Amino acid sequence: FNLSESASSTREEVDYAQKRTGLFGKISLKPSENDSFTFMYFLDDYSIEGSRDVNEIKAQQPMYEYDYRTWSAYYQRVYGENLIVDLRYGHYAFGYTRGPRYTDEGIPDSLYYLADEYPSIENYTFGGYPNANDDFNTRDQFSLNAELYIGNMRLKAGMMFSNEYDKDDSYYYFGENRTSVDPSLSGHTLGYFLDEGIWPPSEMEELLLPYMNNNWDATADFFDLDDDGVVTRAELDTAVYTDENERGLNFWRIMVARRGVNKVNAKRYIGYLMDDWKINEFFTINAGVRMEKHDYSDSEETSIIKMPLRFLPRIGLVWNIGARGTHKLTAFYGQFSDPIPFSMIHFGGNISGRITHEQIWLNNDWY
């Protein structure tokens, strides 16, 4: 397809591609009358190159890679006429990477212009696709289950252990993401940019000035024009912008001060006991309890939180209307847990993640 005239004055033709590879396999064995074994494998490899957005310049097209895979093994043993035991193991993995399609386009830069002077997209948006991810999640799960039939009862019991890792690594591919100023505005002051709406006053008043006055250094001293030990907005408004980079005037950026992996872990311990009791041809009672415990830790295996052991009861009644098996009415009560999602655990463990700095160009350097 062709880009819009704003993204490309020549309406350049670009391509967009999705590629997918899938694989599934299953093997079932029955070595004896009472034993059975099943092995399964699943793979889904998926990639996206480019973007369907006609207003996105070619240089800033992204690339995505998704890798889903799992394999599991299942063994079942029948003992006599009333006991079934099964053992299961599963490994699940998901990988996700994101980055620029064109890695030689350089630092992303989106120029500030006066409100009524913005040119076409291709003339104020430069550099490559800014964002990158290298995420990988795994889960190993073991379970043991048993069913015992005694008279008019079916007793069920089981336990499960799950060990889950969730790794997030989010960063700027080129190390920083810049927002420069139109080169024709060289020589203007920070106060002018604020008055013209190029930069929001809240950034100055709520972030920049408090930080500067609480972290006194050579830059603060440079703008303390009356030497009273306090930098005011009027003083900082005098900052003049003339220093150029390859696209415009140095003004503002977000840079990766430290790239850090945020990897958190969840260990889940689960057990259950259940009894299906057929009272007569009309009524069956289901009663049981589920036990759960969840422990979470950060990238350094330091505990974030250890949840207490919970006992969650369940009880149900099934009415076989008329004892014919054609109509049934069920009443059920149960308690269910709501484990903490990984998005919240990442927040709890983000001391191990990346560190970014928002910086403005002041006194011939990034501040």
- Confidence tier at 351 by pLDDT (50, 70, 90): low
Residue type, 353: G
pLDDT at position 350 is: 54
Q: How far, in Å, CA of 9 to CA of 3, rounded?
A: 9
Q: Token pair 């408090």 is at which residue?
A: 210
- What mean pLDDT is reported for the chain? 93
Task: Write the DSSP assignment of 16-27 as a string of letters.
Answer: -EEEEEEEEEEE
CA distances from 2 to 12, 127, 153, 282, 305 (A): 6, 20, 69, 69, 52
Domains of the chain, CATH where assigned: 17-179+257-366 (2.40.170.20)
For the chain, the straight-line distance linking the first and the last C-alpha, in angstroms and rounded, comes to 42
At 333-345, the pLDDT tens digits run 999 888 888 878 8
DSSP lists the bridge partners of residue 94 as 68, 137
**Token pair of 140 as six digits:** 């190993």
- pTM for this one? 0.79
Of the candidates 263, 258, 360, the one whose C-alpha atom is nearest the C-alpha of residue 302 is 263
CB count, 10 Å around CB of 35?
12
At 156-195, the pLDDT tens digits run 999 999 999 999 999 999 999 999 999 999 999 999 999 9
Task: Write the DSSP assignment of 335-362 as a string of letters.
Answer: ----PPPHHHHHHHTGGGS-EEEEEEEE
**Token pair of 298 as six digits:** 């950060």
